[in-house]
Structure 1
Amino acid sequence: MASNEDKPAVKEEENAGSWKDAIFNPRTGEFCGRTAKSWGLILLFYLVFYAFLAGMFVLTIWVMLMTLDDYVPRYRDRVPHPGLVIRPKELDMLINRSQPVQYTRYVQTLESFLQQYNDTEQERNEVCTAGDYFDQEGEVGEPKKACQFKRSSLSRCSGLSDSTFGFAEGRPCVLLKMNRIIGLKPRGEPYVNCTAKRDTPVQMQYFPSEGRFDKMYFPYYGNKLHERYVQPLVAVKLLLNKEDYNTELTIECRIEGSDLRNNDDRDKFLGRVTFRVTVVE
């Protein structure tokens, strides 16, 4: 007759056997409660199920891509009017004439940006008729020609006659351009007009003359078709005097003379840009 002392040992063995059987039961051949056939069927189900989902995803993407144009975005109604962009990309500029190192970064930014406008580069483009849109017909996917915009047309703000773009003399130049919008053909004669937000005006000089964006640089056909296209620029030279130094000047520039919007309170860069300049000796 087994003693009571043997019963706990038997119970422990039964528990151990029960735990092992939950992992692998040698009598039924089950692993984690399933036979090899059951595991095979469930794995096959999930393999087919996820393969079907992957196939549906790939098919959906393929159908969507077939509806897209390689050259023109499908939806363009949200950006009918361009923004106005400033170079250098600084809305707050502090210019210390006695410390060239301080304004060197502005000069380097302008020099780097204007490399694509070098006359040697632009001479590879077309000499277009000023005042007329440069409409181009042709087969689908045929590359479009680009009109010349030579750096030298920026005159005193080209960086050619003055490598510091006027920063050394306390009369800095800033460059303005419009964002690219495919197919844009602004009506009228768009030009840039800048004003200082103070009682007395600040003298400015525009390059090219009158700060105009000529129609011959429109329309734009997109990056793939119009690879050599560069946006027309307007350079604004601030003709500051000593009386203007040590004072923060707020300058607002707008696109005027056309149907391009410049007064949307929800977007302060739509057709306009505001920046601040402080020159110290």
Structure 2
Amino acid sequence: MYIHQDINDVQHQYFRKPQHLSKKDAIKLFLWNPKSREIFGRTGVSWAKIGIFYTVFYGVLAALVAVCMWVFLQTLDPRIPKWQLHESLIGTNPGLGFRPLPPEDNVESTLIWYRGTNKENFEVWTNALDEFLLPYKTPGSISGRGQNIYNCDYGQEPPRGQVCDVDIKSWAPCVQENFYNYHRSAPCIFLKLNKIFGWVPHFYNESTSLPDIMPRDLKDFINTTAIREPHTLNTIWVSCEGENPADLENIGPIKYYPRRGFPGFYYPYENSEGYLSPLVAVHFERPVRGIIINVECKAWAKNIKHDRADRIGSVHFELMID
């Protein structure tokens, strides 16, 4: 039997006013529609299809990323950077750092300010030094360091893969037991040269090659060393002095421990297991109290450039002891 349906009746269905539902009923119908058996607007078959599609899509995407990462990692060495020296962002001019640093809540400051007669006051700085120097006092705290420490000296460089020991006893009087001399208003500041992989210093080891801008007392020290201990001239020298004429008058005498620079046998840095940067303890013996003293320290090698504005090859900090 053929049943005829007027086309106008079919068209009129599209112009019917939709059934009015309350918000609550609309949500219930969206969660589960018993007539069409839809959950969240989709049937079970529809959910299965879209689930399979996105599973395959993200699976293939994850596999592509994993393959790309694997190929990329094959070009890298965990210890040797791919880009070095001139090709790297760090460049070839190591920076100079100092410790102790001001507290984290005043991270932009470079002022070391304390009262020598107040133990609680100066312990803020000595505790910071204790934390910084901990790896130097307990070599075992660095994985593998105790197994490849070598007692280096001038003319006795470490075998490949081994690292030079840092003798903390040579820092006296800048040691923990002596509160780094902070209680005597004669503080010790530790200097370190930032690490650059593969960087080899070119030493000032001849008096005729010393630059004119080098401080006179450092020139005299190098000339004296050339006579008394010529074998120790392969050193990255260090100088600290007042930044301005008034600072030069107030800074007082300065001593350096264990010597006035970083020994050359610690370089080049090759990221060997347990490597620790050499340190120079700068002892300010009698700085004038109650006044801010601007201090500028520089590292000296033929391939270390200096720029006061950009703090290249140097470091600036202030001392104020009440």
The bucket for the TM-score relative to the shorter chain is 0.7 to 0.9
Q: Which moved more, 1:247-256 or 1:63-72?
A: 63-72
Can you list the C-alpha shifts for 1:137-190, whole angstroms capped at 9, x where unaligned? 4xxxxxx21112201212322345xx1212122111100011222222111131
CA contact (8 A) 1:107 1:165 kept: yes
Which segments of 5 or more consecutive residues in structure 2 lack a partner in the other structure? 1-15, 103-109, 204-234
Distance 1:25 1:119 in 2: 72
User: Which residue identity is paired with 2:89?
Assistant: R
CA 1:204 to 1:41, structure 2 compared with 1: closer, same or farther past 3 Å?
same
Shift of 1:232: 0.8
Shift of 1:213: 0.7
Aligned to 2:115: 96
Shift of 1:72: 1.1
Other structure's SS at 1:47 match: helix
Distance 1:154 1:191 in 2: 17
Of 95, 115, 123, the residue aligned with 1:83 is: 95
Other structure's SS at 2:57 match: helix
Shift of 1:278: 0.8
Q: TM-score, normalised by structure 2?
A: 0.67
Does structure 1 residue 191 correspond to structure 2 residue 241? no
Other structure's SS at 1:174 match: strand
Aligned residue pair count = 250
Aligned to 2:164: 147
CA 1:25 to 1:250, structure 2 compared with 1: closer, same or farther past 3 Å?
same
Other structure's SS at 1:219 match: coil
CA contact (8 A) 1:123 1:148 kept: no
Which segments of 5 or more consecutive residues in structure 1 lack a partner in the other structure? 1-10, 138-143
User: Which residue identity is paired with 1:226?
Assistant: E
Of 184, 192, 212, the residue aligned with 2:261 is: 212
CA contact (8 A) 1:84 1:271 kept: yes
Distance 1:219 1:95 in 2: 37
Structure holding more helix per residue: 2
Distance 1:166 1:265 in 2: 31
Of 60, 77, 80, the residue aligned with 2:68 is: 60
CA contact (8 A) 1:196 1:249 kept: yes
User: Which residue identity is paired with 1:69?
Assistant: D
Of 150, 153, 157, the residue aligned with 2:174 is: 157
Other structure's SS at 1:231 match: coil
CA contact (8 A) 1:220 1:226 kept: no
Identity of aligned residues (%): 25
